Amino acid sequence: MNATARAGLGLLLIPLTLASIGLFTACASTPPPNEQLAVGRAAVERATGSAAAEAPAEMAVARDKITQANAAYASKDYALASRLADEAEADAALAEAQSRSVRSTRALAEVRDGIRMLREEMARQPVAPA
């Protein structure tokens, strides 16, 4: 092999070596998602009170995902634990939003009923001559 061929081979090996090192470093270790788990748990706990009655399906999904996140954390699958904790937080936020929507719809219906009753009452009242 001549000097030019060796130089060309060396130039080819440098990027491949760097790419390999980068790949191994990226896969080597994902830090424990302590913060994501804490945020996910807090979101589920917060939503449990307000959304449990109005959005039970969404709350069940959020609870299930935080349970799965805890299990993934325990088995040191930190990437999965992080993703599931983020999803649990999003599902809990969805449950809270749906709960607020249900309460708002209910309040709107009550206001409309009150307006209807007032109109009926006004219609029954005789109009006084001017």
Give the DSSP per-residue string, 22-51: HHHHHHH-PPP-HHHHHHHHHHHHHHHHHH
pLDDT of 48: 84
Residue 66 has pLDDT above 80, yes or no: yes
pLDDT at 11: 56
The CA distance from 109 to 101, in Å, is 12
Pull the structure tokens for residue 85: 């904790």
pLDDT > 70? residue 54: yes
Looking at residue 125, what is its pLDDT? 81
Q: What is the mean pLDDT of residues 3-9?
A: 55
Q: Domains plus CATH for the chain?
A: 31-116 (1.20.1270.390)
Residue 115 binned pLDDT confidence (cut-offs 50, 70, 90): very high
**Token digits for 7?**
């130089």
pLDDT at residue 5 in the model: 54
Per-residue pLDDT reduced to its tens digit, 12-51: 556 555 555 655 544 557 899 999 999 999 999 988 887 7
Mean pLDDT of the chain: 83
